[in-house]
Amino acid sequence: MPTLTHYLILSAVLFAIGTAGVFLRRNVITILLSIEIMLNAVNLTFVAFGRALGSVDGQIIVFFVMTVAAAEAAVGLAIVITLFRHRESLNPEAFTMLKW
């Protein structure tokens, strides 16, 4: 019988994978995908805690997180398209104009 601890460990592992992706990858789209992994790791925590506490609030928060993720993906991908049009590259190292 998997307990709350199992789900929390799984969620922590997924979050760590997402964090590693954000830091290690050199492609804007893959970085956005890693952020989606992190969001889903947190969603799993919400649902697991909601189940443990016998409340539907966890699932409702997940619903809102999904909405925010959809908005983030739309705006983020629009920015990626605009950046690609200017630089012909998806490498974040190519977009350092504002860096000192």
According to CB under 8 A, which residues from 33 to 92 bind other proteins? 33-34, 36-37, 40, 43-44, 47-48, 50-52, 54-60, 62-64, 66-75, 77-82, 84, 88-91
Number of residues interacting with other proteins: please give it, by CB under 8 A.
Answer: 71
Cβ proximity to other proteins, 23 vs 97, nearer residue: 23
Of 93 and 97, the one with the shorter C-beta distance to other proteins is: 93
* DSSP one-letter string for 6-75: HHHHHHHHHHHHHHHHHHH---HHHHHHHHHHHHHHHHHHHHHHHHHHT-SHHHHHHHHHHHHHHHHHHH
Binds other proteins (CB under 8 A): choice among 20, 42, 86, 97:
20
